[in-house]
Structure formats: structure tokens, C-alpha cells
Amino acid sequence: MPVVVAPPEVVPEVVIEGLQKSFGDKSVLRGIDLTVQRGELVAIVGGSGSGKTVLLKHITAHFQPDAGRVLVADHEAAPGPAPEFAAPLLDLATIDEAHMDRLRMHWAVVFQRNALLTGTVLRNLSVEPREVKGLSDEEIRPLAIEALRDVGLDPELVLERDRDALSGGMAKRVAVARALVMDPVLLLYDEPTSGLDPEMCRQIHDLIRETHRAQPRFAEQRRGVVRTSIVVTHDTELLRRLKPRIVMLGDGEVCFDGTYDEFITRTDRRIEPYLQQMGVLHERS
């Protein structure tokens, strides 16, 4: 994978303003304000029920806000002028399904339990390129081969293998390959190391790092594009090894936003207990 360094210009990829969400009488998000810049690797952490996955589902427009708004960069629109080449931001609540499909062409999600379909690896890697981008089988196959190689799998060995014949680590890599075959600019992970042994976790950490640094093919047509990654996790080792920007949710709000070193040394009534519980939460997830 060709490796690039994020440009120094500050350009927003996702902007969340005053986001509120309740389910019945339970208020989950109580006014989230958050901006994720282009090229950032951001980890969303917080205790169970703090709203991490709910926040992720708002970014992908699976949930609509009760109040506030979520804006995401539209990479299908004409970019702004140099040096930023910023894509315009769109309020997800204001666009129709056709326009939403345009945005989804540049997104991908790696789900907590992989969410692989029954059938072969090739089938799993083909669905979204066919349905979202309208690619043919002949166009998809070389992209699938490239994506499998990018995640360290031999296409000759796994392309036609059935989902049920994959080990846990292989299934996770296939889930990442399924995301990469979409050539995403915005890549989202929901608990990517849950249920994996420590050695496989380390391999997935490295995979997340290299995938984040890799240049999307889309960048060949659009200057200034680099990948942005958002990871929902309880994995302390992932935080230690990747040192992302860390955003912690608590009581429905952002209670911390900063570096890894700031996070582990912060004295706070909500952060300290969570740090002590992270290992247990990760094992349970």
C-alpha cells in the first residue's frame, strides 16, 4: 500500500454540532460537538451505553438526530481551491437518498462482528461495489484481489473460500478488505478487535495503521484526498500502539478530547474509572 502523510491544511471531514438523541425516555447523546479533520485517526471511547455506536450510526446516517446536525464531506462535488482542496460539507438530514448514495461511495464500515454474508469471500467483497458503485463482476474481481493482498491474505487461497471456513483473524481481515474494496476516504471501525486473542489484536492494530496511511486510489483523481479513520473501541493496547486522537463520551457528552498521553495522565472522575475498566470491557465486547 502506498503510504502518504496527511497535508498540513486543516480541512474538516466530519462536523457534528449539538447532536442529541434519545430512545424513549433514555437520553443517549445530549449535545455532542465534534470535528474530525481530514487525515485524522480518531478513537471514540467511553463506557457501555455512553453512545459510541449511536454516534457512529449518526455519521453513517443510519440514525437521524433529535436535535443538532451531522455534516460530512461530499467527495463527489467539486473541491474547493488550493491549497486545501476541501470537499463541501453536507448536512445529512437535508439530502435525499440519491445524494446519500453519492456520499456512501466514499465510506466504508468494519463492523464489530464482521457481518460477513453467507457464501464466499469474493461474494462478500462484491456486494457493495456492485450495489453502490455499479461495478461489474469483471471490474470487481481485480479490486477484490488487491484488497485481499493489502490485508495480508493470499487471494488464491481465500477468494473462493466460504465464510464459515475462515478463522476469526481471517474473517476480520476479510471484513477490512471488504471495506478497502470500496476505496473509502472515510473508514469507520466498530470494535475491530473484539473477540480476538492478543496476537491477532496486534495484527489488526498494524492493519488499521497501514490502512489509514495508505493513499486511496480516488486520490489520483482528486488532489488533497487522504484517508480519515474513526475507531470505536475499548482496546487500551490499540490506543497505546496507534496513539490516535482520543474522544471520550460520558453522560451523553464529550468529556475528553486530546492525545493518548493526555488521556492516560488526566485526573478526572469519569476518565480514571473508565481506564481501570477498559480491559474488562474489551474482553466482554
For residue range 141-194, what is the model confidence (pLDDT) as tens digits?
A: 999 999 999 888 999 999 999 999 998 888 988 999 999 999 999 999 999 988
C-alpha cell at 47: 463506557
At residue 6 the predicted structure's pLDDT band, cuts being 50, 70 and 90, is: very low
Among the residue ranges 52-56, 121-125, 176-180, 281-285, the one predicted with the least confidence is 281-285
At residue 2 the predicted structure's pLDDT band, cuts being 50, 70 and 90, is: very low
- Cis? peptide before 198, omega within 30° of 0: no
Structure confidence at residue 212 (pLDDT): 94
Among the residue ranges 85-94, 110-119, 184-193, 258-267, the one predicted with the least confidence is 110-119
Structure confidence at residue 217 (pLDDT): 84
Average pLDDT value over all residues in the chain? 89
* 5 compared with 81, residue with greater pLDDT: 81
Q: What per-residue string of b and e applies to 52-82 under the rule 16 or more CB within 10 Å gives b?
A: bbbbbbbbbbebebeebbbbbbbbeeebeee
To 10 degrees, the CA torsion angle through 174, 176, 177, 183?
160
Residue 86 · residue 42 · CB < 8 Å: no
Long-range contacts of 168-172 (CB under 8 A, 24+ apart): 168/195, 168/196, 168/200, 169/196, 169/200, 169/203, 169/204, 171/114, 171/116, 172/114, 172/196, 172/200, 172/204
Structure confidence at residue 9 (pLDDT): 59
Per-residue pLDDT, averaged over 59-84, amounts to: 91
Residue 19 · residue 32 · CB < 8 Å: yes
At residue 7 the predicted structure's pLDDT band, cuts being 50, 70 and 90, is: very low
C-alpha cell at 147: 484488497
Judged against a pLDDT cut of 50, whether residue 1 lies above it is answered with no
Instruction: Tell me the CB-side half-sphere exposure of residue 213, using CA atoms within 13 A.
Output: 13
Per-residue pLDDT, averaged over 126-141, amounts to: 92
One-letter amino acid of 91: D
At residue 40 the predicted structure's pLDDT band, cuts being 50, 70 and 90, is: very high
* 96 compared with 3, residue with greater pLDDT: 96
Cβ burial of 147 (10 Å; 0-12, 13-18, 19+) is buried
* 224 compared with 132, residue with greater pLDDT: 132
At residue 63 the predicted structure's pLDDT band, cuts being 50, 70 and 90, is: very high
Among the residue ranges 7-11, 136-140, 240-244, the one predicted with the least confidence is 7-11
Task: Name residue, grid cell 447523546.
Answer: 29
* Strands 67-73, 12-23: pairing kind: antiparallel
- Domains in the chain, please, with CATH? 38-64+92-106+184-285 (3.40.50.300), 117-182 (no CATH)
CA angle 282, 153, 187 (to 5 degrees): 55
Per-residue pLDDT, averaged over 40-50, amounts to: 93
Structure confidence at residue 270 (pLDDT): 81
Query: Edge-to-edge strand order for the sheet containing 228-232?
Result: 107-110, 186-190, 228-232, 41-45, 245-250, 253-258
Structure confidence at residue 284 (pLDDT): 61
Residue 45 · residue 73 · CB < 8 Å: no
C-alpha cell at 239: 490506543
Judged against a pLDDT cut of 80, whether residue 69 lies above it is answered with yes
Q: Which residues contact 36 (CB under 8 A, 6 or more apart)?
A: 12, 13, 14, 15, 42, 228, 230
Q: How many residues does the chain have?
A: 285
Among the residue ranges 73-77, 210-214, 219-223, 277-281, the one predicted with the least confidence is 277-281
Among the residue ranges 23-32, 133-142, 195-204, the one predicted with the least confidence is 195-204
Judged against a pLDDT cut of 60, whether residue 124 lies above it is answered with yes
